[in-house]
Structures are given as structure tokens and as C-alpha cells.
Amino acid sequence: MAGEFWLSDRAWAAVGPPLPRNQPGARRVDDRRVIRGIVHALKPGCRCKGCPSVYGPPTTIYNRFNRWNWKGNWGCIFAELVAPAAMPAPSRPA
């Protein structure tokens, strides 16, 4: 399907580590695929039900977004994504 959002390996290397592991419940759907679904839903502001099935079940996309939001995981993810770009300001010559 055209217009799908896919994380690069480099972006996943920054995003993957802050995610929770070994959570109780049903067998986990691939986190990388679910994040793509979350981004797909957030970009145009569509409902999770409107996400293509390649991203996983809409309920999983919705539930993970909410759980990770309540646990503060999104703040950690954003910090990881911004950290490599944060550089000290260049010093001015005297």
C-alpha cells in the first residue's frame, strides 16, 4: 500500500530501547510495526480504526499509544530521537 510510514533501522535503534519489555498479557505484536501505525494515525489525525492492517490490529495501536503515554515512554522516546541532534552551540571567536 502506498503512503505507509516505515521506520529506518537507525530510527528504530533510537526508539526501541526505551519501550517496555516482558509485559503480561497476550502475545505481543511487533512494537516496530505498532509504532508505525501510531505515527500513521497521528500524522493526519485519523482514528486507529483507519490504519492499514499492515500495522497490526487497531485496538493494539490504540492501547499501546495510551499505555505508553501514561507510563511516560513517549518522553523517553523523544529524548532518544533528539539526543543525537543536540549539539553544543558553536563558540564565538574572541
Cβ atoms 14, 84 nearer than 8 A:
yes
Q: What is the predicted pLDDT for the residue at 48?
A: 80
* Domain edges within the chain: 9-85
Q: How far is Cα 69 from Cα 38, in angstroms, rounded to an integer?
A: 12
What pTM value is reported for the model? 0.65
Q: 66 CB contacts (<8 Å, ≥6 apart)?
A: none
| Residue carrying C-alpha cell 505515527 | 39
Which amino acid is residue 34, in one-letter code? V
Phi, psi angle pair for 68, to nearest 5°? -65, -30
Mean pLDDT lowest for which of 7-16, 24-33, 55-64, 82-91?
A: 82-91
Using one digit for the tens of pLDDT, what is the confidence trace for 21-80?
A: 776 666 666 788 888 888 878 877 777 888 888 888 888 888 888 988 898 888 887 777
